[in-house]
Amino acid sequence: MFDLLIQNASLPDGRQQMSVAVKNGKIVEVSPGLNAPAQQNLDAKGQLLSPPFVDAHFHMDATLSYGLPRVNQSGTLLEGIALWGELKPLLTQEALIERALAYCDWAVAKGLLAIRTHVDVCDDRLLAVDALLEVKRQVAPYIDLQLVAFPQDGVLRSLTALANLKRALDKGVDVVGGIPHFERTMSEGAASVRLLCELAAEQGKLVDMHCDESDDPLSRHIETLAFETQRLGLHGRELGIAHFIQHQQHRLTVAPNRVHPTTAWCDQLGAQLPQGHKAYRVPRVQGFPGQTTGQMGFPDAGWPHQDHIGRGFDKV
Q: Report CA 260 to chain centroid distance, whole Å.
A: 22
Q: What is the DSSP letter of 246?
A: -
Rounded Cα distance, 140 and 117, in Å = 14
Sheet containing 271-275, strands listed edge to edge, beginning at the edge strand earlier in sequence? 53-58, 112-120, 144-150, 175-178, 206-210, 239-242, 271-275, 278-280
> Under DSSP, is residue 293 helix (H, G, I), strand (E, B) or coil?
coil
Contacts of residue 217, Cβ cutoff 8 Å, sequence gap at least 6: 246, 247, 250, 253, 254
Q: From the candidates 213, 223, 228, 238, which is the catalytic residue?
A: 213
Neighbouring CB atoms inside 10 A of 202's CB total 10
Residue 213 annotated to the active site: yes
Cβ(241)–Cβ(274) below 8 Å: yes
Helix axes 127-139, 161-171, angle to 10 degrees: 20
Residues with catalytic roles: 213
